[in-house]
Amino acid sequence: LLLAETEGSYTVQQNYTSLDIHVGQSSSFLVTMDQNASTDYYIVASARFVNESLWQRVTGVAILRYSNSKGKASGPLPDAPNDQYDKTFSMNQARSIRWNVTASGARPNPQGSFRYGSINVTEVYVLKNMPPVTIDGKRRTTLSGISFINPTTPIRLADQFKVKGVYKLDFPTMPIEGPPRMATSIINGTYRGFMEVVLQNNDTKMQSYHMDGYAFFVVGMDYGEWTENSRGTYNKWDGIARSTTQVFPGAWTAILISLDNVGVWNLRTENLDSWYLGQETYVRVVNPEATNKTELPIPDNALFCGALKKMQKPQDISSAPSIIGNRSKPFLSLVMMISVVICIFN
């Protein structure tokens, strides 16, 4: 497997026999068809970092077939990497995925001109997640001691129409001390600022975090508690730019974000259970200029709710397809909250 691209960023091309792809991530590979064509080959996607005996039923198997193959793939499916007692294997693999700063293409630094390591950081946030807790008798998850409550009025619409009290711009830069609480607390990002976010995973489960609207630079990860001295280990030259990153149990991951995209952007765990229970926040980025040409206007078919529900316009549904008339069959979409390892074996 020759890794060529990860979430829109060209990578330094390296060969892997297997690669951990975490929840919400994507990668592109080049496969050289130069193996012995005596048989077909298995391509296997299997669960990692979960109770693997429970997830064997969702192991995905495909067949890579040569036109002159002399037989079908046979034998048992290959095992995932045997790293049960080596917790650095997967992390070192993640560190090895680096940005190709000489390749041209659609990415945040065309021709390698965006040297993120030389940009001054304007704001720092340390976001720490813990195992689920009980708040006011309810099971909740938190970021930095705050369990997010979704407002009834969308945040960006509340800004546009000056609705007060929908949220607070008081998300802490460091985890709060004392008991956890529930709140609609969001991060106040500075337009054209450069933000450092440290994702500290103090849970026993693997986490992956996604940020809407941005590709951020993954500059460091390690086990233990993050400190300011940890910056000495950062990759300040060719850290990969992506929108979803993994955070290992008992470890941290540091990302850098160039806040040039105006809007209110969700920063969340990709574990659906934890996300639903409050392990998320938003980063609000507003252009302070009076003439805002950096954000598109509200679309005509926007849905208004909460304090703005009286502004809702009638929806034209005349062109919508009829489910009954078309006899559409129901389907089941299975969302796998797992990490995946992809292997090629015969």
Is residue 89 scored above 50 in pLDDT?
yes
Per-residue pLDDT at 55 exceeds 90: no
Residues 6+ apart with CB under 8 A from 33: 66
Pairing between β-strand 41-48 and β-strand 339-345 as defined by DSSP bridges? antiparallel
Q: State phi, psi for 52 to the nearest 5 degrees.
A: -65, -25
CA 316 vs. chain centroid, Å, equals: 34
Give percent of the chain above pLDDT 70: 86
Report residue 56 CA to chain centroid gap.
24
**CB count in 10 Å sphere of residue 305:** 13
Is residue 346 scored above 50 in pLDDT? Answer: no
Mean pLDDT of 271-284: 97
Residue 146 has pLDDT above 90, yes or no: yes
DSSP codes joined into one string, 314-330: PP--TTSPPTTTTTPPP
Phi, psi values for residue 89, rounded to 5°: -60, -55
User: Residue 165: what pLDDT?
Assistant: 96
Query: Residue 107 pLDDT more than 60?
Result: no
Q: What is the pLDDT of residues 278-319, one digit of tens each?
A: 999 999 999 988 776 788 888 888 899 999 999 998 877 765
How far, in Å, CA of 132 to CA of 310, rounded?
A: 37
Helix (H, G, I), strand (E, B) or coil at 281: strand
Whether residue 176 has pLDDT greater than 60: yes
The phi-psi region of residue 342 (left if phi > 0; otherwise alpha if psi is between -120 and 50; otherwise beta) is: beta
At CA 155, angle to CA 135 and CA 261, rounded to 5?
115
Give the end-to-end CA distance of the chain in Å, rounded to a whole number: 14
Domains located in the chain, CATH noted: 2-91+338-345 (no CATH), 119-290+301-307 (2.60.40.420)
In sequence order, the 6+-apart residues with CB closer than 8 A to the CB of 339 are 20, 21, 22, 23, 47, 48, 49, 50, 206, 208, 246
Using CA atoms, how far apart are residues 257 and 241, in angstroms rounded to an integer?
10
Flag whether pLDDT at 331 surpasses 60. Answer: no
Q: Who wins on pLDDT, 53 or 185?
A: 185
Q: Summarize the confidence of residues 206-230 as an average pLDDT.
A: 97
Band the pLDDT of 54: cuts 50, 70, 90.
Answer: low
Averaged pLDDT score across all residues of the chain: 87
Cα gap 185→234, rounded to integer Å? 29
The total number of residues written for the chain in this structure: 346
